[in-house]
Amino acid sequence: MQPIDLSSMRVIDLSQNWDMNTPGFATYEGPTIKWIKRVAFDKVGGQFISSTLHVGTHLDAPRHFITNGQDIGSIPLDKLVGPGVVVDLESLGIGDYDIYTSAHFEEWERKTGLHIQPRDIVVVHTGYHKYYPSNWYGESEPDETR
């Protein structure tokens, strides 16, 4: 793996907060955080943290969808950090629950003059973040895998 020069990149943090109020996947429980030892209030201590999968911001491994796909530990970091583009579908008036097709991305390219390049990391902005955490996607849709 080649070193990655971050000096010329703008790093975008896509993560949501993760705490006891983070919603669980569909009907699953959210995380639990229990103190198991406190040496000094708010300074030193030990916690037991448990969570189901698909809680908060996370990356699904290809193996989640492809039988012999890579697991998380096998994905090289240079596949997760690199040039990318944010495709703003919300600005095109496409709803949060729509199915996105290549036509949507082609329309975005025409309207912005930008183009998705091979190997770009594509972030799709739908505007759904404004509902988090009160309206989790899987709770209001008949098919949360969509």
What residue spans define the domains of the chain? 22-74, 82-146
Instruction: Kindly indicate the confidence band of residue 138, based on its pLDDT and cuts at 50, 70 and 90.
Output: low
Compute how many other C-beta atoms are within 10 angstroms of the C-beta atom of residue 72: 12
User: Average pLDDT over the chain, rounded to whole?
Assistant: 82
| Mean pLDDT in residue range 100-127 | 92
d(CA 31, CA 26): 13
Pick from 141, 55, 54, 64: nearest CA to 98: 141
pLDDT digit string, tens, across residues 29-64: 889 988 888 777 667 778 899 988 888 888 888 998
Share of the chain above pLDDT 90, in %: 27
Find out whether 54 and 28 touch, Cβ atoms under 8 Å.
yes
Find out whether 112 and 91 touch, Cβ atoms under 8 Å.
no
| Mean pLDDT in residue range 16-23 | 85
| Mean pLDDT in residue range 54-76 | 89
Is pLDDT at 11 greater than 90 in this prediction?
A: no
Is pLDDT at 146 greater than 80 in this prediction?
A: no
d(CA 99, CA 34): 39
Amino acid 10: pLDDT: 81
Q: Which residues pair with 33 in a beta bridge?
A: 49
Amino acid 1: pLDDT: 62
- End-to-end CA distance of the chain: give it in Å, rounded: 33
